Amino acid sequence: MARESTITFEQVAAVAGSIKAHGGKATMRNVRESLGSGSMATILKFLQQWQGGQLRQSQAIDDAMDPSIARAISNQIASKVQEATANTTAQLADLQIETDTLIAENERQAADIDLQATELSALQEQYAALAGRTQQLETEATRTAAALVTERQAAESARVELAKAELRLEAVPRIEAEIEKVRAELLEARAQSAKLHEEAAVATAKLESEFNLRQSISTQLTEATANAAEAVKRAIANAEALSHENVSVQTHQARLEDAARELATANETVNTVRAEAKKAGEEAAELRGQLIAVSKPLVKKSAKTKVE
């Protein structure tokens, strides 16, 4: 696409007329220096149009003159032909210089255009690379955004877990106090259990002793009963043998009474031992009940503590 001209014909004509009015030559270079901008080709084109207009204006003036005046002017012109020829030659030299300058300018602009084309190609390649890089960055940005969303969700979950952990940590002192309380209760219960075990052991030993005593008394009672029965047998035998002897009868009667008294004493001893054994059994049963009642909550508390 051709570039839009930055100067106009009116600007070039005004500058060229001003230079000519001040006695200078309206050359392409002078006009360019006066304007301060514009390409040489554009200035040359507008300058040629202005010069053509100046020639047509001169011819129109010549056509409107009186013939005598025109001849006088022609004579005057003829006298200055040589000067005009010299001026024309000078103008041709100036035009040649301007043409060379224009050619050099065109060559420079062509070189600039080639350089700009090369730069444009490099810029296009850079644009393509940047477009690819931009697409890659957009893809990475999308992936990064998704990762950030995931990380935000993870961070939110972590904050929730942290809040829960903080709540649990706040409850730790209370739980530790409860644990210490349960431990103290457990130690106290263990001490009571040990004491009850000791009492139960003592009661068991006492019960075993009383049972052994009862067995011993029962054995003694059996022996006493056997002895009494033997004594009765002997008394009966003696009574039958000495039925005719009053002294012997009285003696055997006394022995029989003694045996009866021994038997009564043995029976009383047996009854006493039985009562004590029954009492010891009741106490042992009561101690076992107390031991079981104390052990159950201790076992429950111990299991609860282990679970916590």
CATH of the domain at 203: 1.10.287
| Whether 38 contacts 6, CB under 8 Å | yes
Percentage above 70 pLDDT, the chain: 69
The pLDDT mean for the chain works out to: 76
Asked whether residue 202 is assigned to any structural domain, the reply reads yes
Higher pLDDT among residues 54 and 235, named by residue: 54
Q: Do 193 and 289 lie in a common domain?
A: yes
Joined together, the tokens standing for residue 303 give 């299991």
Does the pLDDT at position 247 exceed 70?
Answer: no
Would you call 22 helix, strand, or coil by DSSP? coil
Identify the pLDDT of residue 10. Answer: 92
Identify the pLDDT of residue 177. Answer: 83
Does the pLDDT at position 81 exceed 70?
Answer: no
Asked whether residue 264 is assigned to any structural domain, the reply reads yes
Q: What total number of domains does the chain contain?
A: 2
Q: Which residue has the tokens 């009116």?
A: 10
Asked whether residue 43 is assigned to any structural domain, the reply reads yes
Does the pLDDT at position 54 exceed 80?
Answer: no
| Mean per-residue pLDDT, 198-221 | 73
Does the pLDDT at position 66 exceed 70?
Answer: no
By CB neighbour count within 10 A (0-12 exposed, 13-18 middle, 19+ buried), where does 98 fall? Answer: buried
Asked whether residue 162 is assigned to any structural domain, the reply reads no
Q: Do 86 and 205 lie in a common domain?
A: no
Q: Do 85 and 198 lie in a common domain?
A: no
Q: Do 193 and 83 lie in a common domain?
A: no
Q: Residue 245, Cβ neighbours under 10 Å: how many?
A: 13
Domain boundary among 63, 85, 114: 114
Asked whether residue 147 is assigned to any structural domain, the reply reads no
Joined together, the tokens standing for residue 22 give 């001040």
Parent domain of 45: 9-114
Phi, psi of 291, deg, nearest 5:
-60, -45
Asked whether residue 283 is assigned to any structural domain, the reply reads yes
Would you call 39 helix, strand, or coil by DSSP? coil
Q: How far is CA 225 from the centre of its chain?
A: 95
Asked whether residue 50 is assigned to any structural domain, the reply reads yes
Distance CA 130, CA 127 (A): 5
Domain boundary among 72, 91, 114: 114
User: C-alpha angle 127/128/130, rounded to 5°?
Assistant: 60
Identify the pLDDT of residue 30. Answer: 87
Domain boundary among 99, 114, 129: 114
pLDDT digit string (tens) for 129-160? 888 888 888 888 788 888 878 888 887 887 88
Asked whether residue 200 is assigned to any structural domain, the reply reads yes
| Whether 9 contacts 17, CB under 8 Å | no
Q: Do 22 and 97 lie in a common domain?
A: yes
